[in-house]
């Protein structure tokens, strides 16, 4: 049984465990699929390898509490169950009512673990992910977070946009801090109106300046949360998840809105419309920086409180579905402290997901490699973060980040000129390879947790192009040579190394 385990900023590390005569499972009761185990399992036979042997894969099109279990009985027959976690879950059906359970996906391949992965990738790229940006080139962005955190105004963002345009970057994303009186993480979630002390003239004025520089515009949003220090909470404390007699837990100075309450969902639709309805926004980052606790609702009777976690997810899906239909041309990237809700439920609504809050290249290599067991690179948002003053370091970060939808997170106004000079060349190279990464077939060769390095390649349909990557994650392997077997290379064909020109 192959699973991926982890925690915040260290998601999706591979784990392969023999399936004994017992029940083995992965699960979440966090109200989201969670950082601890991604909701999929791969089940190869004992002698199955990456490219040969029988293999099954199971995953869940859902973003809430789940349970995936495998029971190996005394006849060595294995039963796999995928569904909503029964812990703390009940649902009351009146006569004539219907309950629609989330869907699961089962995949089989006789071509090993890689065969299952590639089948998953094709299925999800073409039959699950939606929106106009699914099949076309997405704009390459720079996010303001690691450049400015909360400390920005319209002049600084306009300067970012002007500099970004000279480097070949195509979109500026304004992250947390643009609304209410938000200058740190302690206030204003829920007050989704522009802070005009920061953005003088409002959102439309800033977007005009960004567009004038030649860039598209994106914005960060965390609709499922509320700060106790906010106008929304002061008006409606009953709109939060809470349990009578218990103290509501704060995490990151915030509480969770009761998305099972229709009034909350309608309020958020109205907020979206007021803030985004009349301005040309091209991208939204939909964040969720804490999971659920004190899971109770003031708007359901006591006997239906165990319905709250699932009703919460139905409310989130309704809001996402409304947003998708109301703003069909906007790219949606979802996030939950990075990979805390990286699942197929979210992929039904957004083209990509922020893979992890950790962008350090060695660790990111492990996270991205594990994610590819089930998810295509086209769904992974991967950024080059600040490399310091070493130009070689930005090349390393870029070599990792290109194995997804590339972006940047750094202060391009202050970064070293030698580092800055590498960015246009990196973008040019990425655009050359992007069609293989986004739509090609992935073949894994070396697993980083086991080898101290990662090796994998993408190929197009007729194998006329192959993009091979070797990423070293540990110093101990730098003097080791590897012979990498490229099974999709056509026998007798001559391939040209585009970097060196060698055949």
Instruction: State the pLDDT at residue 442.
Output: 98
Closest CA to 378 of 333, 444, 432: 333
| pLDDT by position in tens, the chain (length 503) | 999 999 999 999 999 999 989 999 999 999 999 999 999 999 999 999 999 999 999 999 999 999 999 999 888 899 999 999 999 999 999 999 999 999 999 999 999 999 999 999 999 999 999 889 999 999 999 999 999 999 999 999 999 999 999 999 999 999 999 999 999 999 999 999 999 999 999 999 999 999 999 999 999 999 999 999 999 999 999 999 999 999 999 999 999 999 999 999 999 999 999 999 989 999 999 999 999 999 999 999 999 999 999 999 999 999 999 999 999 999 999 999 999 999 999 999 999 999 999 999 999 999 999 999 999 999 999 999 999 888 889 999 999 999 999 999 999 999 999 999 999 999 999 999 999 999 999 999 999 988 889 999 999 999 999 999 999 887 765 677 889 999 999 989 899 888 788 99
Number of Cβ atoms within 10 Å of the Cβ of 314: 15
**Catalytic pick among 287, 298, 392, 497:** 287
Residue whose entry in the numeric block shows the structure tokens 């708007």: 299
> How many Å is the Cα radius of gyration of the chain?
23
**Catalytic pick among 176, 282, 357, 439:** 357
Q: Active site includes 343?
A: no
Q: How far is CA 20 from CA 54, 68, 76, 118, 433, in A?
A: 18, 16, 9, 27, 43
Residues 6+ apart with CB under 8 A from 442: 114, 117, 118, 121, 372, 376, 377, 456, 457, 458
Q: What whole-number distance in Å separates Cα of residue 15 and Cα of residue 273? A: 44
Q: Is 40 helix (H, G, I), strand (E, B) or coil?
A: strand
Q: Active site includes 71?
A: no
Query: If residue 44 lies in a helix (H) or strand (E), which one and from where to where?
Result: strand 40-44
Instruction: State the pLDDT at residue 482.
Output: 87
């Amino acid at each position: 049984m192959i699973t991926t385990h982890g925690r915040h900023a260290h998601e999706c590390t591979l784990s392969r465990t023999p399936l004994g005569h017992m029940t083995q499972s992965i699960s979440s009761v966090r109200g989201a699929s969670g950082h601890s185990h991604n909701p999929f399992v791969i089940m190869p036979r004992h002698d199955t390898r990456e490219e040969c042997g029988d293999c099954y894969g199971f995953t869940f099109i859902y973003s809430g509490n789940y349970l995936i279990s495998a029971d190996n009985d005394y006849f060595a027959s294995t039963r796999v169950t995928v569904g909503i976690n029964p812990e703390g879950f009940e649902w009351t059906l009146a006569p004539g009512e219907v309950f629609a359970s989330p869907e699961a996906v089962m995949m089989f391949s006789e071509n090993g673990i890689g065969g299952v992965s590639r089948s998953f990738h094709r299925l999800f790229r073409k039959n699950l992910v939606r929106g106009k940006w699914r099949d076309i080139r997405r704009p390459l962005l720079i996010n303001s977070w690691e450049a400015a955190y909360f400390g920005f105004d319209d002049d600084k963002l306009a300067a970012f946009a002007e500099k970004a345009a000279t480097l070949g970057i195509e979109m500026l994303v304004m992250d947390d801090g643009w609304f209410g009186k938000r200058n740190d993480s302690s206030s204003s979630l829920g007050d989704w109106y522009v802070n005009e002390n920061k953005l003088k003239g409002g959102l439309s004025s800033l977007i005009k300046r960004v567009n004038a520089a030649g860039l598209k515009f994106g914005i960060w949003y965390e609709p499922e949360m509320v700060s106790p220090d906010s106008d929304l909470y002061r008006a409606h404390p009953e709109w939060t998840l809470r349990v009578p007699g218990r103290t509501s837990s704060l995490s990151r100075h915030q509480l969770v809105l009761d998305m099972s309450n229709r009034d909350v969902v309608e309020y958020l639709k109205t907020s979206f419309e007021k803030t985004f309805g009349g301005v040309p926004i091209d991208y939204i980052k939909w964040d969720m920086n804490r999971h659920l606790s004190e899971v109770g609702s003031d708007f359901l009777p006591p006997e239906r409180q165990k319905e709250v976690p699932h009703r919460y997810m139905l409310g989130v899906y309704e809001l996402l579905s409304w947003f998708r239909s109301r703003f069909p041309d906007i790219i949606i990237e979802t996030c939950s402290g990075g990979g805390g809700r990286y699942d197929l439920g979210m992929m039904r609504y957004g083209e990509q997901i922020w893979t992890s809050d950790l962008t350090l290249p060695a660790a990111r290599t492990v996270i991205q490699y594990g994610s590819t067991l089930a998810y295509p690179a086209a769904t992974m948002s991967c950024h080059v973060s600040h490399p310091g003053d070493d130009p070689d370091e930005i090349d390393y970060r870029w070599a990792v980040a290109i194995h997804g939808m590339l972006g940047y997170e750094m202060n391009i106004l202050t970064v070293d000129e030698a580092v800055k000079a590498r960015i246009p060349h990196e973008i040019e190279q990425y655009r050359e390879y992007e069609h293989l990464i986004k739509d090609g077939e992935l073949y894994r060769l070396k697993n980083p947790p086991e080898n101290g390095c990662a090796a994998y390649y993408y190929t197009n349909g007729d194998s006329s192009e192959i993009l091979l990557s070797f990423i070293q994650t540990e110093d101990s392997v730098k003097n080791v040579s590897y012979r990498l077997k490229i099974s999709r290379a056509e026998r007798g064909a001559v391939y040209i190394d585009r970097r060196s020109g060698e055949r």
